[in-house]
Amino acid sequence: MFSRLSPRAQAILLMITAIFFFSAMDACAKGLAPRVGAVPAIWVRYTGQCLVVLLLINRHLPTAMRTRHPWLQLLRSVFLLIGTGCFFFGVANIGLAEATAIIDLNPVLITLGAALFLGEQIGPRRLIGIGVSMVAALIIIRPGAAVFSPWALLPLIAAFSYSGYNIVTRFVSHNDSNWTSLLYTAIFGAVVMSAIIPFYWVRPDGTAILLMLAIAGCGTLSQLCLIRALSMGEAGMLAPFAYTGLIFATVWGAVFFREWPDIWTVVGASVIVTAGIYVWYRETFSTEPAKPT
């Protein structure tokens, strides 16, 4: 079924799947932070991913290590580590849906950055999808509400970092394999966090261990799906679908943390779904020749 879809449709589905696993990882991190702290959560996210990736590609490790863009691979790894760190600390101190709404400013930054640095064009359909989703995100955030605390600045920093990561990933995907990109981000984060973790280590209980395993698994799957999506579709075209993270985060927050969404969150989420369906339809089923939309 998946193979029968157009490359655009496959890229969009992979993007939504990546966001689902990202949001699940964030929910696990929020649950883990009160038990062991945010730093161990970040460490297990990268170390777990590194072990899984090394296990999967152990026979092809020399090939996966080859890259035509070593400095850009380092840059995207730095971007991702900063983004992950800021968001994990942010989500540990404010609501999951609110933190996700703030970080979901990054699709606008991705689209603008792709136009500036990758030469991707921004057509009216993409602008409509992104613009409507942006308004919906602001409806959920509601400037002036309690979400604007010092901790809310961390998801904002993460939004810029993730945007840089996505743009650089899109560029290196033309020459480096998905596994190469996944391996470099995992190794960099694992090495840096392993040097830091001894100063913040707390012995985990059984629940914390399960959450750690879930973070490692979701982190690996989300990165693999995202890298594949960005290798198949333009960053600007995929950007609006990152807003689906708001829907997932709202569900996780309500189910696991009793963070019940208010009417404005429901309204904003509904608008995001509508905008996503519109862009999906135009990008997937349009009979016009393929061109920037």
* 293 occurs within a structural domain: no
pTM of the full structure? 0.78
* 291 occurs within a structural domain: no
Q: Name the CA radius of gyration of the chain, rounded.
A: 18
Write down the pLDDT at residue 228: 87
Write down the pLDDT at residue 3: 73
* 72 occurs within a structural domain: yes
Domain count, the chain: 1
* 85 occurs within a structural domain: yes
* 106 occurs within a structural domain: yes
* 292 occurs within a structural domain: no
* 35 occurs within a structural domain: yes
For residue 144, the enclosing domain spans: 2-285
Write down the pLDDT at residue 214: 94
Write down the pLDDT at residue 293: 37
**Number of other CB atoms surrounding residue 135 within 10 Å:** 13
| Mean pLDDT per 10-residue segment, the chain (293 residues) | 81 93 93 92 90 83 90 94 93 85 76 74 73 76 62 86 89 87 92 95 93 90 87 78 85 89 77 71 54 39
Write down the pLDDT at residue 280: 59
Write down the pLDDT at residue 8: 86
